[in-house]
Structure 1
Amino acid sequence: MTLRAELSVPDKAVEPGGMLSADLHVWNEGRIVDAYDLTLLGPPGEWGERRLGQLPVYPGMHERIKIPITVPRSGALQPGPLVFAVRVASVQEPFPVAVPEAEINVGSFRAIEAELSRSQTAGRLFGSNLITLRNTGNTAVAVRLRTAPQDEKAPLRSRMRRSRVVLGVGEKARIGVALRPARPALVGKAENWTVKVTAEWDGDANRERAFTYRRRPLLTPGASRVAMVLGAAVLAAAALWISPLGGGTRMPRTQTAAGPAQLDQVNAAEAKARQEQQKKAEDERKNEQADKAPKKRELQHPLFVQTTSGTKNSAYTVEEGYQLRLTTVQITAAGTGVLLLSADGKPLGSVPLSQAKDITPKIPVVVREGRKVRMTVQCAEGTSPAIPTLPSASVSPSAVPTAGVEACTATALVTGELIPDKGSASKDDAAKEGAR
């Protein structure tokens, strides 16, 4: 028994986070029908499902299967050629094994994470903050830093300790932001100003962060009240000294409301800042939950049936939390009988085994969570010469054709998209379906 296999991928570079499709061709140069176990080797086998199922091939013929590969967006994945392979092993005999290899041309990408040490800082004559930059791409990147108050009329000057920095893969740097009020306030209420910090690279890529600088007056509200009381006492003493009777008509005491009103404003500003911090924490929590939500992904699942008489089926059940948008079913079959294909309990097509062909619905068929895509083979009893096969780990002895009975075999490759039932991906798809 002879086996030959070839593996090929597109020559163009694939940026991490992108997808490509590899073509696997398998030739059966033996004399009997055989099926082959397909296993993905190398790093692509660690990125997703290693086992690709079985591929039946008739004697003297060959079959082709497309293998979708998603390259992870990780800084640990260096740009350049990446070798992988597919192990093709016969299920009938232990010896025929082929391991064709191919290279994925991994491209480069640049990505920067930027985080501020504090969301709010305060001071009277100056202030400072720190921004931490980390290179999460797979190649070195030169970053340019800028800072400025959000309001151009703000009485505040800001500058970066370093305006440029080069980060290698996985490296991080901490750069200081220095602040100085242009006109320090002696008394009055505290003022909040928003300061922006921008990190730019590759011309148009950037990360922008902002924090609040709270400019406080040189004299605290308590010191201001003490100064006001002392001033009032000095004025009262001077008036008493000038009066002929050592006094004169007493002036009614007045109490200014500036102190309590200023304190209330400070407390209100602090409460507002706490609310903003709580809102930011809630937004970060929601974003983290959104990142952990299921993502839309491609599906290729093989179905295989082999029988000598009666009815036998093979089915794929849609995973929990997903719905399947079925686009194409590639079918290869042989024998005397009928092949029926259904999705979510609804028929997609029925065709004689000898006339089997691919099924592509004009409108994508949606299969809900927990429902099945089922391939059923109704094999007619016959007396034509049988094609001998041997039992294997994936085919039960009862399914092996006996002498004088023609075997009915069928394989189907279910292709489509798994879409989360909940989340942005499913909402976007639902909007597209409504537009149609």
Structure 2
Amino acid sequence: MTATARLDPPSLPVEPGATRQVTLHVRNGGDIVEAYRFEVVGVPSAWASVEPAELSLYPGTADTVTVTLRPPRTPDTAVGPTPFAVRVLPVERPQDVTVPEGTVEVLPFHEIAAELLPRSNRGRLRARFQVAVHNHGNTPADVTLGAWDTDEKLRYRVHPAEAELAPGEQGHLRLTVRPRHRILRGAEKRHAFQVRVALAGLPGDPLDGAYEQRPLVPAMLPKALALAAASGVALTAAWFGVFKPAITSTAGAAVSSQASQAVQSAVKEQQKKVDAVASAAASQSAAAQAAGGGAGAGAGGGGGGGGKPSAQPSGGASGAAAAAGSGAAGANFYTPLSVRAGNGDSADATFTVPKGKTFLISDIVLQNPQGDYGTLTLDIDGSQVSLLALEDFRDTDSPWVTPLRVPAGGKVTMTVACRTPGSPPSAPKPTTCAESALLNGKMVAS
């Protein structure tokens, strides 16, 4: 053998991302001048390098080269001992190759990244957030989540309160924020709070968030109630001023017509009785004249003319019926919106209200059938109506006491920011996020 080689030290610890060096001693035991080339084996080539890469030695002489080890600071750098070796290859006599062996002990390291989604949310009784935690370390991480506000105006609920993440794994912790005191009416109030993700008992950097507390009574509700009261007063005035007098007049005309018919019928019956009496009197007079003619006496006869009594009924029926019309209240209308967004991308869908129409939205149904991760935003003409984390729902129904009014030409836009597509059961894992919305309400004339 023309060469001998050894590593010094033969074993050493190294933390991922750090650099450690090992000295390789090489001696030429042959009888000719020999050049040696070096190659590190047993670890990825990106981990190690040798300086110089080639060394020439006279017979009986020795020298050293430096082996540098740099394990990367990534989750897939395994913790524990990793054997390696340096192949020393003589150029003139390659059959005399020698391979000294060593061990590098890869140390564990902890590193996590956290993000609050969304940074700001609003609601009357509560608001939901989520904290995305990514374990960038090469060892499992036990993380806990805590939240607080300096004014102590909020309450917090975390689910789950702690989680264990494998190296490279990403998890999501849900955070529900509730106000300690409710606002009946008035302006919205902003509450700032902070969230901290702790790892192995060591607190991390705080994440800033905000909860926009909305009043229980919407700002439009008093106006809607006043409008409803005014409509009630107008309907009452219309009843007593128009509809009721018209109905009364119609009823009176009907009663008058019935009375006139009854009078005419009574007059006809009375006329029949008078005619019968006159006929009987004429018969009796004729009989008397026949009996007195035989006595030779002057007869005095007199014809009495009788007139038939008559009765002329009087009266009439008059009146008019009133008709009440109501304007069209609008037709029931619904329209769907659907969005597909790639992993890490955003996409949107828009509905535009036709000309001459106004869309009154009374109910919004959102669906996340795959269980995707990300955010869904719904806005009207650029004004945000709703912002939700996708993982907080599969199906959600949002009715509105006061309908959302979208004028002609107005746009309702649903935007989906896809962070990770979900994993539906009994189906291949999708490559895109898929969400939909159903807008329900009435389409009325402008």
Q: TM-score, normalised by structure 1?
A: 0.49
